[in-house]
Chain A
């Protein structure tokens, strides 16, 4: 390898004034990237941060020549080590991809071919990127080597396995191995850890940093998570509305960001806030001896897994207790598979537990018939994770918010009902002008506001929120969290807040229950659990949360 010729002066990747358009309706083009420039030097870790729709993925796709058919490059230049590749056709770009630049895609669960063994998929990458003809044994060795470099200790075993036999973290490593198979000098990673749990994310990111040091490759990491970017990179670029608005070394950006958007983004990061969010108006009444509004006792749920071979069972919940005090927020934290969503759906009666009871106030919820359960629902409401699927696409905002009123025959007079709908919309900081819009005409944050407005329409006592802010951008997430805190102060609501994000817990929770593998690991007041965790797993979770550098600069 004669690296000197390539890397003497020119950066590994240089993008100059790149502009990419998407076709909108037939003949119109909407700009997605407007004149973005960036470069990555050998051995440098650069992060590209932006919220959804900022054009960060399009920029990377443009650099790789992987733009979808509906997009075109309007102007600008892309060069790798000084070789201008702008306008190259796909066959020629294929020589650059893999050999020179490795790509790690976003979702490890959909990016591997499910019917091929991992080994074959890595060998494929090795074979395509080889300069000379090689033999099968050499390919196999190279693939195993690549898997080991990607941090898979048991490379031999993984080699013969199918994607579905591996965990999400291992699949992501297999993808890293494929990206490394062509011995690239540069790695582009598009949200490589966004679909993974925090503890797994930490391991993968640690490994990327390690690869950079070991092999001296350059890394361009695309992420929506400012915490991740600040913790890991040498330099960060912030993208908004298709343009790069901020660029600089991490320390400089942290200390004084030039761009107002970057400052907003920094302030919106959960880690930036020292304690719980306070309501914007009024005081939150805190009574330490408040009554329990929602109580779960010794809940158990087992799923039978289908498939060939011996019957397998999955204990989703195993003796879980929970007590939610009136007017407080009880967070349930855990990684995927911890059973927190199962717990949430049992708490609101979507699913029945195999054993154990749930009480809302004095009323026992478990074992109720359909009709009786409906009455309890007036006091107990649910907010879904994804506002893009939880609203009927054919209903207007007005109809959506009025639906619970209609279901219980409240306010039958048209004018009164409309007045209540407007009142509810105002409570979630929307106004009357939204009443005739369809969900497709709203942003994610607005949709989640509508979902919350529906949930509080019946003046419930308890809201169960299942990852209610996880699908939203950080800045929108901060607004929704503030809204929840305000609503709590105004109406004395109690929340059960299910989340995987410990940063969010810090902002909103009074009590925390940490779950792992269907069982409660630790429970207690949020301040105590977060500052002095009593269990190893809680400590591990806390240590894995990105954004250490943000917390260090809390003002």
Chain B
């Protein structure tokens, strides 16, 4: 068959060359423009910023006290006066949510820091020193991964006693394993790079090489994981609070708020629903943000 015969067969979809460039060129602008074009991502940032604002300066967001209620106004439905309504003791639920952010988010931050710190060190040591250290560390990590993390956290809190700090510790311990895994994988890749070998060759000591070259180049993925884990940790902290492992009742805490409202939810639906929605929004928003951060890194 000659080329001509071959090519006389018409095929659908032939297009002149310069059909598309203008459409393609405007696809990406700078970062802020991109944010505006993604309303969900923008909303996610707003939600997280508001939640952080609640945790840092609760007084700016509400004039009510989270502890003192107006006994005459118990179970008031949401209104202009009480945005989220009031609970059994007439306490403003919005105020309790705002002040609860501090308890919950502090515990979450602590949990992620513990997991990040301890997990990275374990992963670093395992990946860098290898051999027997690696085998032992990774088998321990495997055991941790085999236990459902919430169950593990409950065991830790039961042993240490009920308090918000212990919840933070428990949630942190339960996600050490995944940080260790990711860090180890990154360290193994970096250690194989020529520049690490080059550092040895120049006479840089093993420890100095680890600190100066291996750690900075391995941390990227672990930081991305921390963003993902943050959302999970909010949920874990609130779950333990809901189950009553955390702060004692008068203290506002998101999980506890949902638990307190649960008894009356059939008659006064706002009591559990509105704090629950606030919690869900924060978790979803952090997830959305961490996804976009990961994509950003891949570019």
Contact = CB atoms under 8 A, between A and B. Distances in A.
B201 A407 contact: no
Contacts of A408: 203
B25 A389 contact: no
Interface in A327-378: 348, 350, 370, 374, 377-378
Given A26-B28, A374-B203, A407-B205, A95 B194 contact: no
Nearest to B26: A27
Contacts of B6: 95-96, 99-100, 131
B202 A72 contact: no
A92 B11 contact: yes
Interface stretch (B14-22, B51-59, B115-123): B14-22
Contacts of A74: 17-18
B277 to A, nearest CB: 38
B15 A87 contact: yes
B227 interface: no
Nearest to B196: A392
Nearest to B27: A26
B63 interface: no
A89 interface: yes
A99 B3 CA distance: 8
Nearest to A77: B17
B266 interface: no
B139 interface: no
B129 interface: no
A458 interface: yes
Contacts of A377: 201-203
A34 interface: no
B206 interface: yes
A377 B195 CA distance: 16
Contacts of A457: 202
A381 B217 contact: no
A393 B217 contact: yes
Interface in B189-208: 193-195, 197-206, 208
A403 interface: yes
B216 to A, nearest CB: 6
Interface residues of A, number: 53
A6 B4 contact: yes
A139 B29 CA distance: 52
Interface in A153-168: none
B1 interface: yes
Interface in A43-88: 72-75, 80-81, 83, 85-88
B25 A26 contact: yes
A73 B14 CA distance: 15
Contacts of B29: 26
A395 to B, nearest CB: 8
A451 B201 CA distance: 12
B7 interface: yes
B202 A95 contact: no
Interface centre among B2, B4, B15, B18 (most CB of A within 10 A): B2
A83 B2 CA distance: 11
A391 interface: yes
B130 to A, nearest CB: 15
A100 B7 CA distance: 11
Contacts of A394: 216-217
B195 A392 contact: yes
Nearest to A407: B204
Given A384-B198, A386-B194, A378 B25 contact: no
Interface string A179-210: 00000000000000000000000000000000
A390 B201 CA distance: 11
Contacts of A451: 198
Contacts of B39: none
Nearest to B195: A392
A81 B14 contact: no
B9 A95 contact: yes
B251 to A, nearest CB: 44
A2 interface: yes
A5 interface: yes
B294 interface: no
Contacts of A95: 6-7, 9, 11
A370 B201 contact: no
B211 interface: no
A49 B277 CA distance: 65
Contacts of B203: 374, 377-378, 404, 407-408, 458
B213 interface: yes
A154 to B, nearest CB: 32
B295 to A, nearest CB: 15
Nearest to A404: B202
B213 A350 contact: no
B17 A87 contact: yes
Contact of B198 (A6, A374, A390): A390
Contacts of A92: 7, 11, 14
Nearest to B22: A27
B7 A96 contact: yes
Contacts of A85: 7
Nearest to A439: B195
Nearest to A70: B24
B3 A81 contact: yes
Given A95-B7, A381-B201, A87 B16 contact: yes
Interface in B134-173: none
Contacts of B213: 392
B193 A389 contact: yes
B55 to A, nearest CB: 33
A264 interface: no
B11 to A, nearest CB: 4
B72 interface: no
A74 B160 CA distance: 69
A504 B197 CA distance: 26
A393 B194 CA distance: 11
Contact of B15 (A23, A89, A382): A89
Nearest to B202: A404
A83 B202 contact: no
A308 interface: no
A382 to B, nearest CB: 4
A454 interface: yes
A100 B200 CA distance: 53
Interface in B90-111: none
Contacts of A73: 17
29 contacts: A5-B4, A6-B2, A6-B4, A23-B25, A27-B25, A27-B28, A72-B24, A73-B17, A81-B3, A83-B3, A83-B7, A86-B17, A87-B16, A89-B14, A91-B11, A92-B7, A95-B6, A95-B7, A131-B6, A350-B200, A378-B203, A381-B202, A390-B195, A390-B197, A390-B198, A392-B213, A393-B217, A403-B204, A457-B202
Interface of B: 1-4, 6-7, 9, 11, 13-18, 20-21, 24-29, 193-195, 197-206, 208, 213, 216-217
Given A26-B29, A457-B202, 11 more contacts: A2-B2, A29-B25, A83-B7, A86-B17, A92-B7, A95-B9, A99-B3, A381-B201, A404-B202, A404-B204, A451-B198
**A-B interface, 10 closest residue pairs, ranked by CB to CB distance from nearest:** A390-B194, A377-B203, A26-B28, A389-B194, A27-B25, A404-B202, A407-B204, A382-B201, A92-B11, A392-B195
Interface of A: 1-3, 5-6, 23, 26-27, 29, 72-75, 80-81, 83, 85-89, 91-92, 95-96, 99-100, 131, 348, 350, 370, 374, 377-378, 381-382, 384, 386, 389-394, 403-404, 407-408, 451, 454-455, 457-458
